[in-house]
Amino acid sequence: MRRIMGATCVAAAALALAGCGVQVQDETPAQFQTNSDIGMYPITAKVTGGALVSPPVYLFLLSGGQKVPLSANADGTYQTMFPVKCTTSFPLQFLAVWRLQVGATRQALFPAQPRQIELTPPPLTKQANIDTSGKPDKKTRAWQGNVQYDFVTVPQVQITGAHLEPVSQDKADVAALKRISIVSTFPIEGSCGTPTAIELASKEQRAHVNLVIDTNDPAYPHWTTQVDFAPQPQGAL
């Protein structure tokens, strides 16, 4: 009987594909919003097996040298949460392993070549407030604070430089540039998931300015943040 079934799988190509094989339908989205908190993404696939396939079918996720098993559900879907951090994409491919009723074990890759799952990073800091409620520094006679950036697309990053621009061409905004300065020196080294700060100082208690930074992160070669110096109400976060 085993010889007959084995011959069926080898000799009859159409029957072999239908009865002896499995199909994996990747249901994972092509793109995710970057999750900088836990860095985990849901991977889902659906598996169907031919008439000569003996359950269970084992399914593994292959990505960047990692091999992660997926858990099977009653409806034929397989799922797992895959950890990915500090990148803008990751390759995704599945390895299916199954047994035939004749006892032979087979495996196949789906798809034949990995596909790339894109990770869309969140924007960097668009606006920052620096509290000037207290007295200015006695030595510099300025209020000082920092603007923080969270980089999540590369393991290491450099803020290579920065400059200030007026928020508008209004006379007060243009004049504010003379009273606000960048205290930090460059380059500033940073790492994925750790806030990287630029120190600013203002000799005006109320002023605002655009801080433009340059980085070696391809996702953010340049970025503009509006910075407002102003007294903050008591109890404000």
What is the count of structural domains for the chain?
2
The domain boundary, picked from 118, 142, 174, lies at 118
Residue 236 lies in a domain: no
pLDDT the model gives residue 236: 53
pLDDT the model gives residue 18: 55
Closest CA relative to residue 60, chosen from 42, 40, 41, 80: 80
In percent, the amount of the chain with pLDDT more than 70 equals: 91
Do 167 and 210 touch, CB atoms closer than 8 A?
Answer: yes
Residue 235 lies in a domain: no
Verify that 30 and 113 share a domain, yes or no.
yes
The per-residue pLDDT of the chain, averaged, comes to 91
Section 38-48 average pLDDT: 96
pTM as predicted: 0.80
Using one digit for the tens of pLDDT, what is the confidence trace for 112-156? 999 999 999 999 999 999 999 999 999 999 999 999 999 999 999
Section 87-115 average pLDDT: 96
Verify that 69 and 153 share a domain, yes or no.
no
Residue 82 lies in a domain: yes
Residue 237 lies in a domain: no
Positive or negative CA dihedral for 175, 178, 179, 185? positive
d(CA 185, CA 146): 13
Residue with tokens 């495996």: 107
SS3 state at 18: helix
Verify that 10 and 109 share a domain, yes or no.
yes
Q: What is the CATH number of the domain that holds 63?
A: 2.60.40.10
Token couple for 72: 């099977």
Verify that 140 and 67 share a domain, yes or no.
no
Verify that 36 and 74 share a domain, yes or no.
yes
Do 132 and 230 touch, CB atoms closer than 8 A?
Answer: yes
pLDDT the model gives residue 102: 86
Alpha-helix runs per DSSP H in the chain: 2-11, 13-15, 171-176
Type of residue found at 181: S
Residue 179 lies in a domain: yes
Verify that 71 and 139 share a domain, yes or no.
no
Question: Which residues form the domain of 139?
Answer: 127-230
pLDDT the model gives residue 73: 95
Confidence bin at 103 (pLDDT 50/70/90): confident
The domain boundary, picked from 101, 118, 135, lies at 118
Verify that 138 and 215 share a domain, yes or no.
yes
For residue 9, pLDDT beyond 70: no
pLDDT the model gives residue 3: 36
Residue 46 lies in a domain: yes
Verify that 173 and 223 share a domain, yes or no.
yes
Verify that 104 and 189 share a domain, yes or no.
no
Residue 151 lies in a domain: yes
Verify that 9 and 72 share a domain, yes or no.
yes
More confidently predicted of 2 and 226: 226
Verify that 142 and 220 share a domain, yes or no.
yes
SS3 state at 46: strand
For residue 1, pLDDT beyond 50: no
SS3 state at 190: strand
pLDDT the model gives residue 19: 86
- Give the DSSP letter of residue 14: H
The mean-pLDDT minimum among 61-75, 161-175, 222-236 falls in: 222-236
Section 162-169 average pLDDT: 97
Verify that 101 and 66 share a domain, yes or no.
yes
The domain boundary, picked from 100, 118, 136, lies at 118
pLDDT the model gives residue 37: 84
